[in-house]
Amino acid sequence: MAFLTLNFVACSDDDDNDPVTIEGRGFNIDQTFNVTNKDNTAEVIVNIATEKGIENLIVKIESPVLTEDVLNAVNLPKEFDLANPASEELAQTLIGFGLLSKDKKIKGSTETTFDVSQFMPLLGGFENPGPHKFILTVKDSAGNNLSKTLTVYFPNLKK
């Protein structure tokens, strides 16, 4: 006597969805972003999304010119959490730099952007090609983590 067993497996196009994503808008965040315009302008926006809501969005700055002293002079630490600013003073600084909005909270939202476009002329003005790194670490409310490094380089500047 022979038995036949059939197993069915459901397939879905959603199988490749990650709980946390960090992606460059129009560029591959895993590759260096080269700013080549003569006026050192560029649109440098990172899209961040989570299924469960953002708990932390930590930014760490590593740059040959954005040293701790330079950043402290403008009340910005080398590492900060955009979803949970450490103080009201830091929150106001981040709002002033356009990294936070008065009207939109990052904590609990399922998507946000990290836009450093406005800093490209400033970084290029230091006449140091870099690399200038923004290490982004996102943790969602379910405990999922993802880190990506946005690396910006100015190849037209001489070291």
- DSSP track, 84-151: S-SSHHHHHHHHHTTSS-SS---TT-SEEEEE-GGGHHHHHHTT----EEEEEEEEETTS-EEEEEEE
pLDDT at 98 (0 to 100): 93
* Single-letter code of the amino acid located at 20: V
**Domain-embedded: residue 10:** no
pLDDT at 157 (0 to 100): 80
pLDDT of 16 > 90? The answer is no
**Domain-embedded: residue 143:** yes
- Phi and psi at 153, nearest 5°, equal -140, 145
The neighbour count for residue 114, using CB atoms within 10 Å, is 22
pLDDT, one tens digit per residue, over 29-76 is 999 999 998 889 999 999 999 999 999 999 999 999 999 999 999 999
**Domain-embedded: residue 159:** no
Number of structural domains the chain divides into: 1
User: pTM here?
Assistant: 0.86
Q: What percent of the chain has pLDDT over 70?
A: 89
Looking up tokens 């405990």 gives: 143
**Domain-embedded: residue 5:** no
Q: What is the mean pLDDT of the segment spanning 66-91?
A: 95
Average pLDDT, the chain: 89
**Domain-embedded: residue 90:** yes
Cα dihedral across residues 28, 144, 59, 95: positive or negative? positive
pLDDT of 6 > 60? The answer is no
pLDDT of 117 > 70? The answer is yes
| CATH number, position 58 | 2.60.40
**Domain-embedded: residue 2:** no
Give residue 103's domain range: 19-153
pLDDT of 126 > 90? The answer is no
